[in-house]
Structure 1
């Protein structure tokens, strides 16, 4: 094989890897975009009992124990 043929053969693999990288980046951006849209559509979290909120960091879990 000549030098030009060798360089052309090596360039095919790097071109494939560059295209695979671009496809991967596009898929990741698309997944982030889809997830953020889905997150915005979710219902807001239900508010908890205010007494339970103030006791959330305590060791005692039940008032009687």
Structure 2
């Protein structure tokens, strides 16, 4: 085989690998762009102050009996 034929045959493989690398980079950039767009459009999770009180911890879960009685009185007066 002559030298130009050897160089031409070797160039085909490297050309394929370069084009495959460029395609791979473009796919990764596109995936990042698409993911960041989806992330921006997603609904933000609610802040603790915006959450349902039932979803939050019970406020009376670590109270003494005296504290509990005081809180029950407050709730009774607030309802009237």
Q: TM range, normalised to the smaller chain?
A: 0.7 to 0.9
Aligned to 1:20: 20
Aligned to 1:9: 9
Report SS of the residue matched to 2:48: coil
Aligned to 1:45: 45
Which segments of 5 or more consecutive residues in structure 1 lack a partner in the other structure?
Answer: 50-62
- The CA deviation string for residues 18-63 of structure 1, in whole angstroms up to 9 with x for no partner, is 00000000000000000000001000111125xxxxxxxxxxxxx5
Aligned to 2:53: none
Are residues 1:32 and 2:35 paired?
no
Runs (4+) of structure 1 moved beyond 2 Å?
none
Query: Structure 2 length normalisation: TM-score?
Result: 0.60
